[in-house]
Amino acid sequence: MQIEYVWIALAAVLVIIELWAINKVIKSGSKVDNKGVWIVVIVFVPLFGLIAWALAGPKHSTHRAQ
């Protein structure tokens, strides 16, 4: 397998993950301003934007029975 195919496959995987992350941002319950910032970061700084969003973006709320 040539190295070009590996890079194309990695780029395709990155695009799929970016689309998934953008979809999650759009469907989140946060403010529109925050959504816009996260989408811009994910689109214009793809790899680092995804890492930053994964660490700081999604809020996993746990529902405790009271």
**pLDDT 10s digits, 2-57:** 888 999 999 999 999 999 999 999 998 888 888 899 999 999 998 888 888 888 87
Task: Say if CB 25 and CB 50 are below 8 A apart.
Answer: no
For residue 33, the model assigns a pLDDT of 87
Structural domain boundaries in the chain: 1-56
Q: In whole angstroms, how far apart are CA 24 and each of 10, 21, 50, 64?
A: 21, 5, 12, 23
Q: What is the pTM of this model?
A: 0.75
